[in-house]
Amino acid sequence: MATAFGGGVGRTKQQICGALTGGIIALGHLYGRSDPGADWTDASELAAKLKHRFVQEYETTNCGALLATFGQQENMMRCKQLSGEVAGMLADIIDEQINSPV
């Protein structure tokens, strides 16, 4: 479902990082609305939190800028590691959401 986001949307190396986009898609799946008119506050707040943490860590969401800092890669290894790092951020955010007092 998120494959085409790799490489900054269709390998253009522009726009948003595919790893971050994948995390946002996961949040939409878990917390998004199931009816068009339903509230999507949780999904939007959690996505904003993920983006904020990503920017704190990597200073940008732009694929090309990230790739420039990674340097030469073999088999997209740094991008794969980044995807794992985003998954960790996502796990922390979900854990906080589940364990936060209502």
The domain spans of the chain are: 3-99
pLDDT tens-digit profile of 51-79?
Answer: 999 999 999 999 999 999 999 989 989 99
pTM of the shown model: 0.89
What is residue 4's predicted lDDT score, i.e. its pLDDT?
Answer: 81
Quick check: 53 and 61 in contact, CB under 8 A?
no
For 87, the token pair is: 């998954």
